[in-house]
Structure 1
């Protein structure tokens, strides 16, 4: 068989089966068997080929970081760690041609500080021979990973009965609260005799002053979609008036901690609707409340008086588009949904080890090299194909936002009162930038020029690993050219934002820098020997942050970082000389300790708790549920809704300083998210619960642990989740947005089977077989079959079914 034919044959007929052998129920680490089967009629050659795969968790980390390779399959195959959990598998001299119908197996393993969950590999395994074009194994192309098995066993610590007990709320058969997020004041107009609803069966007429023209036009566009569905001939117009004025709260309402600049009121009577606000942002939120009321019933509006304002100034959602890129159309959809639910900050994680996603015309290498992932042996002209990226470069080009795209996003977000907060992650998580600038250095040196933006000490041959198995991830804080680079990035992004949405803060990441990253750098050793500031190697990250802050101040910007960017080598908040009130810190890692320590050092704190607000974590403890579990076993909508950090902090002698908590952020890292469908299902319905938490403070949040407050919390969640089911999901359906379908709860008591759902009202089906079985709808408790065995239960929604719940016979 020729080499050219051989690579094509392997792509078509080399079938992969990856079988998890790790136990559920909290077991640490992972073990899996990989089977490579020749499913064709030819032979798999004995030499010359390499198989490439990206594994989510590090394989044999300690061995492969110390040795060049690991022998597997009785020494017939050789496995190497390439970069960032990307691995190669190649035959040794002991490997014989793989004959038709035969297979070879080997074991992969690794230690994890948390239990193994979800399918731990990516799609698009591929083979390559020398200089030939790589070919993807067809058996691994599906995003659903059908070649991965062994993640559907019972979990000793969580099962269908646990789900059933968690879903204690009733199915109300209707929406429970009229608006999400909950308004501060919602008063039904009791002076209008017995009428509660007014018919709205004609045209909408919107009037507005010039300074609310943007909000008025957007409202008209939304209302036209409703009016066009009605037969309006001869019907009267319903008048909606947008007016500038102060939203007047009831005298009994404590407005001390509300963000009154975003306040609004909505009054609906027989004469029409008046929306009042002092600022365009408040008017935007008022129009969204009106649209939410219309979503309850497009033909009727309640006669109500609503007065409202948010609890937090910063209501942020972070989207990581570095690890996996999402284009402008999907980002705009997210901006629309943020505006609908009154979130006001889109934190865009634009750079990381796996990609640089924003064009900088003065440094074209950042996107020419740093945004493209495809097959390479050297990672010099582009990055390796991390996270199951297609290995052919023609399919992975232009995976970045051009300046034109970004400006378009800024305008789109500004119109909807969503501020875009860009993040450039330094000095760690910078592998893409390091590779791009290395290419620039090489190109310029060949022309006899120097790279004034060099960020890597080329004399430093030491190896340091960052999270995810990446090497060469840090920019060097001891070289002046590093700060030339940073100043260029800062000045350019300032200019891009200035005419549309001027920046107040610039987020510089600062997280997860390897502690020993700079210890062996000749540039740093020289710098430390000459330094008059008596800086220690462990303090070089702090030195970088201080110099970075000076650059930001030069451009009239304030610094924003993740909490570890402002921590000393003693793991305490950095106590800078001068005021710290202008530094914004996202608390994600130490959670309560971080909120406590940074708020008491007078930082501007944004609660970004990984235990409650990380949307890359799974929504159910099932091994089949997409998501991580390193911070917590799972995070569903209910957990976000019930999050109350002040109550979790009651045991501390130094409590959280609440007035320094300026905001809250939900974050979606995208290692496990590579399609729009996956992205949307990770967001919804959890984003509804997050929007509720970001806008409205419930009375039970300050009453920690009392039975009455817990009862009130349960009552509020019951109303909320019924609104999600009977109203908000229908809004998503109309927009074509997908959402997560939870596995059902199942309880067997005295031979009777009962079921419920985390989203009430969704149909639940059962079967005695799996796969292409005949599923039957379950409307009421049923008897367990006398034959025993296993029953399978699923929840069905508009976008398919959820993870299967298994009920074993007792």
Structure 2
């Protein structure tokens, strides 16, 4: 068990320490004046995987904290679990998840004005990133309204986290040593120096659309189009025609006619009428002198042909009257039928508008599956008719230890329901979202994560149970209940919860599942897009769940029901949920660990009656031996979506640097280039490094066994990016994590490059070079024009005898520098001589700039 040590330094204690905080104004004054600081002292401890840190409270307010067991407590968010302890008159206690509490005892001597206290602790695993710390610590007293420590009420980590600069703060005690050194300005400069690959010309850039078409043949000449052109469309393609009309009207700032009669100066949309069968979602695009023809195998193919045409339009600062397009022919079809993006708004809700923008950007790059992670321990994000508590309570976090009005605050929300991460999609908004997705040829896959990761649902249904019990309606109260009063099960999840598993032995749990799935089906029907696939989650169920459940002991005691021990309960639940979905005609999806009978063997596919069972293969830490599960499932007859944590988790940092947001459990970093070079048809070629940064040269030798090969490629549906949101609290942060990695994902999902799997070849390096040029010249400016944010990599720089040299990651980015600590910025165009001590630099494109580096 990890040990926690607390050392307290108390400054001069005045007599006023006997005075309590008696009013709201005094509490607010203390919180506004006092400062709470977090620090990492060392990750390189003797015990691997552990670290030592500290919490400091500096009393800069006008009010002392009273001595003794006064009625005040400090609550803080810490994603690493700190074990309960009592030292020097203070107790430190883990509550649930990331919420911790510091409270005084009779032995506490008080904290005078101007004094400080420092708590040293040990925990695990390491912390090497600022975003591991959460904002909005707060203090409560005498039943007053909680007050947030003002210095922590910020998304600027420098206001409440001490700098991470020393080797023991930046490196992990992992394996035989951390080989992922923190990226320095100097290393980045060398890594980003221009290569020998020639830059694309303007004409080549225009034609290098993303994702790359299967075939593209340029013809002599160009075609000029303007707002005088029309869109010719049949009734069957009216939706696609209206979409193109809207896009061109925005581009030209003029009316575009939508007609059925043919003439010159038209963009003609049509479904294929030939006898030769075209692949689903395929299209041809032909640009001639006075007619542009887009022909699709189906309406989706026509839509993707429209996206390719729009991708050819030059980027303009303002609406233009006419543009020239190259005369060419594109023949194109997707590499995979599943080109997906997973978005977790369960942990932190970011709003309705940013979800609509995500749909629009996915469509632009021909992605077609939006996996919505609607529920989590920290929140339920979809209004369900008939179960109001799910969103009235389950969609909001605040300071309420009874959880009668909201969930326990988590993930930096702080004590108020106005804090970050709160909210949900209303019934009407979800239907609108579905219709928006349908218009963009995107299938929405709703996930209700069960039986683990279900704390929000459990607490909401307990509130419902209590409400109806008080109303003397016990039968209704029990109808959707997800837990039982005398369950003594003892467990702790990866996310540090001990009460997040739905009781799989209660019939009311299945009544709940059926109710939710039924309401989902109705919403999808109301949106005109019937629900086809239900994702049940199924992942990360904590060991020990249901061990102390009386209902489960009763179920186990029943003979011949297939449940002989607690180990049989999870497959029992999976089978029952699958059966409920099958009875509704639905396919089933789950994360890989939800469908594993043993660590090395999936459940038999035949036991599920669903027309399709889709598996997200995610847990591919190579040295742990799970990286072959995508092939195991496909060979067993499941349909597989590659969702690897090592390459396609967009919640991971974009560089090995403490200032980059994200968790790093699967990979130290995942930048846009790494996503671009993912090779889904050659799974084991992606095994390049272990978690400690050791190069993998022979995966089979590393694991000591042969690796299964893909025997049933027809079951490999495609690939999907994942964005989990523990560290992502705002819409702006969300889009910085999404883009442009999503664009690289789309490139690989749609197009198989000729250089695969040899990413070291000159063809591969040239392909990436051209892709990054196109990003800067076309894709990122278009993102900005659509009001979406995005990430920019910082520049690299060196300083030698007053000479500053800088480089950028992607061709075409501007570098700016400041010699007055950011008060003014100048454009860096060549080597500069600087006499000032401090030089700041940043990359810039349009209105977006990178994080600042300092020389």
CA apart distance, 1:498? 2.2
Rounded Cα–Cα distance in structure 2 between residues aligned with 1:117 and 1:635? 14
Q: Which residue of 2 aligns with 1:687?
A: 742
Partner of 2:532: 504
**3-state DSSP of counterpart to 1:721:** helix
2:630 to 578, 595, 606: 595
Length, aligned pairs only? 773
Query: 1:261: which partner in 2?
Result: 280
**CA–CA distance in 1 between the matches of 2:849 and 2:44?**
22
Deviation at 1:637, TM superposition (A): 0.7
C-alpha offsets along residues 540-563 of structure 1, whole Å, 9 cap, x if unaligned? 111110111111110001110000
Q: Is the 8 A contact 1:452 1:481 kept in 2?
A: yes
Q: Which runs of 5+ in 1 are unaligned?
A: 250-254
Q: Following the alignment from structure 2 to structure 1, what is the Cα–Cα distance between the partners of residues 831 and 418? A: 55
Instruction: Find the residue that maps to 2:394 and give its secondary structure.
Output: coil
Q: Would you say 1:755 and 2:806 are equivalent positions?
A: yes
Partners of 1:281 and 1:445 in 2: how far apart?
A: 51
Counterpart in the other structure of 1:71: 86
Comparing 146-155 and 584-593, the one that deviates more: 146-155
Residue 222 (structure 1) aligned to one of 218, 228, 247: 247
Secondary structure in 1 aligned to 2:722?
A: strand
Alignment correspondent of 2:5: none
In structure 2, distance between residues paired with 1:23 and 1:33: 12
Unaligned runs of 5+ in 2: 1-20, 171-180, 258-262, 317-321, 621-625, 686-699, 701-705
Q: State the Cα distance separating 1:782 from its structure 2 match.
A: 5.4
Match of 1:633, SS?
coil
Distance 1:129 1:595 in 2: 52
* Residue 72 (structure 2) aligned to one of 49, 53, 72: 49
Distance (Å, rounded) in 2 between the aligned partners of 1:806 and 1:392: 36
**Mapping 1:172-191, distance limit 5 Å:** 172=199, 175=205, 178-190=208-220
Q: How far is the alpha carbon of 1:270 from its aligned partner?
A: 0.7
Could you say what secondary structure the match of 2:339 adopts? strand
The aligned counterpart of 2:650 is: 615
Give the Cα separation in 1 of the matches to 2:81 and 2:789: 31
Q: Distance in 2 between matches of 1:445 and 1:555?
A: 31
- SS of the counterpart of 1:284? helix
RMSD: 3.0
Q: Which residue of 2 aligns with 1:379?
A: 403
Matched, 1:649 2:684: yes
Counterpart position of 1:292 = 311
Q: Residue in 1 aligned with 2:112?
A: 99
Return the match for 2:595 from 550, 566, 573. Answer: 566
2:640 counterpart SS class: strand
The equivalent position to 1:476 in structure 2, one of 486, 498, 503, is 503
TM-score (norm. length: structure 2) = 0.85
Residue 842 of structure 2 aligns with which residue? 794
Q: Contact 1:247–1:265 (CA<8 Å) still a contact in 2?
A: no
Counterpart-to-counterpart distance in 1, 2:653 and 2:351: 24
Per the alignment, residue 438 of structure 1 pairs with: 462
Deviation at 1:370, TM superposition (A): 1.3
Report if the CA contact (8 A) 1:505-1:558 is conserved. Answer: yes
Give the Cα separation in 2 of the matches to 1:501 and 1:243.
23
Q: What is the Cα deviation at residue 433 of structure 1?
A: 0.8
- Structure 1 residue 201: Cα displacement: 4.2
Tell me the distance in 2 between the aligned counterparts of 1:774 and 1:397.
34
Q: CA deviation at 1:754?
A: 4.3
Confirm whether residue 357 of structure 1 aligns to residue 381 of structure 2. Answer: yes
2:461 and 2:324 map into 1 onto residues whose CA distance is: 60
In structure 2, relative to structure 1, the CA distance for the partners of 1:616 and 1:531 (3 Å cut) is farther
CA displacement at 1:144 relative to structure 2: 2.0
Distance 2:198 2:398 in 1: 49
Tell me the equivalent position of 1:252. none
Instruction: From the superposition, tell whether residues 395 and 607 of structure 1 become closer, same or farther in structure 2 (CA, over 3 Å).
Output: closer
Alpha-carbon distance between aligned partners in 2 of 1:489 and 1:243, rounded to the nearest angstrom: 40
1:778 equivalenced with 2:828 (yes/no) = yes
Aligned-partner Cα distance in 1 for 2:813–2:232:
40
- Secondary structure of the residue aligned to 2:284 is strand
Indicate the residue corresponding to 1:407 in structure 2: 431
SS of alignment partner, residue 303 of structure 1? strand
- Return the offset for 1:504: 1.5
Determine if the alignment matches structure 1 residue 338 to structure 2 residue 350: no
CA distance in 1, matches of 2:65, 2:166: 33
Q: 1:220 and 1:529 mapped to 2: Cα distance?
A: 65
Q: Against the structure 1 CA distance between its residues 102 and 772, is the aligned structure 2 distance closer, same or farther, given a 3 Å change threshold?
A: farther
Corresponding residue for residue 7 of structure 2: none
Q: SS at 1:498's partner residue?
A: helix
Q: TM-score, normalised to structure 1's length?
A: 0.89
Which residue is equivalent to 1:308?
A: 332
**Residue equivalent to 2:40:** 20
Q: Is the 8 A contact 1:738 1:799 kept in 2?
A: no
1:738 aligns with 2:798: no
Tell me, yes or no, if the aligned pair for 2:73 and 2:141 is still in contact at 8 Å.
yes
Higher mean displacement: 132-141 or 307-316: 132-141
Alignment of 1:501-650 (within 5 A): 501-532=529-560, 533=562, 535-578=564-607, 582-590=612-620, 592-649=627-684
Closer/same/farther in 2, CA of residues 79 and 309 from structure 1, 3 Å limit: same
Moved more, 363-372 or 200-209: 200-209
Aligned to 1:420: 444
Residue-by-residue CA offset, 1:329-376 (whole Å, 9 max, x unaligned)? 111111111111111111110001001111111222211221121111
**CA 1:18–1:505 in structure 2 vs 1: closer, same or farther (change >3 Å)?**
same
Shift of the 537–680 alpha-carbon distance from structure 1 to 2, 3 Å rule, reads: same
Change in Cα spacing, 1:434 to 1:301, as seen in structure 2 (3 Å) is same
Instruction: Kindly state the Cα deviation for residue 423 of structure 1 after the two structures are TM-superposed.
Output: 0.2
* Cα drift, residue 56 of structure 1: 2.4
Q: CA deviation at 1:765?
A: 3.7
In structure 2, the CA distance between the partners of 1:695 and 1:92, relative to structure 1 (3 Å rule), is same
Q: Using a 3 Å threshold, how does the CA distance of structure 1 residues 559 and 457 change in structure 2: closer, same or farther?
A: same
Of 746, 762, 766, 1:715 maps to 766
Mapped partners of 1:157, 1:675: distance in 2 = 26
**1:91: how far off?**
2.3
- Which of residues 82, 96, 101 in structure 2 aligns to 1:83? 96
Asked if 1 retains the 8 angstrom alpha-carbon contact of 2:338 and 2:719, the reply is: yes
